[in-house]
Amino acid sequence: MREKPLRPHLRKSAGLNASLPSGAAREAVEALGRRIVAGIWPPGATIPIEPELAQVLGVSRATVRDAVKVLSGKGLLRTARRYGTRVRPLEEWHLLDPDVAAWHGPAHPRIGRMFAETTELRCAIEPAAAALAAQRATPEQVRTLLAAAEALRPGEVDIVALFEADRRFHCTILDATDNLMMRQLQGIITTILRISYEFGVQKVDGRPVSREGHFLVAEAVARGDAAGARREMERMLDLNRAIAEAYWRNRAMAENPAGAAGGGWPGV
């Protein structure tokens, strides 16, 4: 068993978690995962037995078992002899897992709650990350931050480019903390950002995103001003939160004029 030099053979992973490279198993995971998250089988319910799933998904029982194992690893399922395979309660789902988060489609009843809670998490993490980044960012990371802020043009029509710049900005902040734990949160932030852009949340007040806010953070990081970076990031996220709150309130009102929509924005 000689060690081979590591040579990346998957230059462009599609952006998502590439834990299952191949086809059939990956598709089985996706299919089952989406159904579970969609609530086809509510938490606590027993899903069909393995042979039945194999038939429905058109794969062998071994592949079904692989998929179930992956989903168990994400906290969605629990298996036991004679009990079948059951959907675990929502509290145990690994919601920080990008896959699990992404399986919540735009129309999902809980998407409002997901967004609200992620925003709270970001309000806790990102200011601290910005402060650390101000102390540790490399010159290249500073350049990336400034370039990403520059690319957030208010009149930009290319929504994908906007998203990409936004994503790169926030991921670079987390990268620059040089803290592997903080970097783990890049996935969930990217996913939630993507969902936001798919929704158009970022444009609720007419302006796409806060270009100034991003610049103020980037400049504070560039001059090593930890307190300033933290403060500007806080300010930016407060704005973000206000925007999101207004958006979701409107959406809830439109769907359910009587009051708060079920599973929508919680009473924060």
Partner DNA sequence: ACCTTCTTTACGTCTGATCTGAAGCGGGCA
Partner DNA sequence: TGCCCGCTTCAGATCAGACGTAAAGAAGGT
* Amino acid type, 91: E
Nearer to DNA by Cβ, of 68 and 261: the residue is 68
Alpha carbon distance, N-terminus to C-terminus of the chain:
57
Does residue 94 belong to the site contacting a second copy (CB under 8 A)? yes
Contact pick of 17, 79, 135, 179 for DNA (by CB under 7 A)? 79
**Of DNA, a second copy, none, which one does residue 68 interact with (CB within 5 to 8 Å by kind)?**
DNA
Helix (H) or strand (E) holding 142: helix 139-151
Contact pick of 4, 155, 254, 259 for DNA (by CB under 7 A)? 4
**Of a second copy, DNA, none, which one does residue 23 interact with (CB within 5 to 8 Å by kind)?**
DNA
Cα 267 vs. chain centroid, distance in angstroms?
Answer: 22
Nearer to DNA by Cβ, of 66 and 126: the residue is 66
Segment near a second copy (CB under 8 A); pick from 39-47, 146-154, 155-163, 239-247:
39-47
**Of DNA, a second copy, none, which one does residue 182 interact with (CB within 5 to 8 Å by kind)?**
a second copy
48 near 56, Cβ under 8 Å? Answer: yes
Shortest CB 123 distance to a second copy, Å = 7
171-210 binders of DNA (CB under 7 A): none
Encoding tokens for residue 99? 């896959």
Which letter, b or e, does each residue of 212-247 get, where b requires 16 or more Cβ atoms within 10 Å of its Cβ? bbbbbbbbbbbeebbebbbbbbbbbbeebbebbbeb
176 near 138, Cβ under 8 Å? Answer: yes
Per-residue contact string for residues 178-207; x = within reach of a second copy by CB under 8 A: xxxxxxx---x-------------------
Does residue 86 belong to the site contacting a second copy (CB under 8 A)? yes
Alpha-carbon gap, residue 80 to 85, rounded angstroms: 7
Site size for a second copy (CB under 8 A) = 62
Alpha-carbon gap, residue 58 to 71, rounded angstroms: 18
Using CB under 7 A, list all residues that contact DNA. Answer: 4, 9, 21-26, 49-51, 58-63, 65-66, 68, 79-85
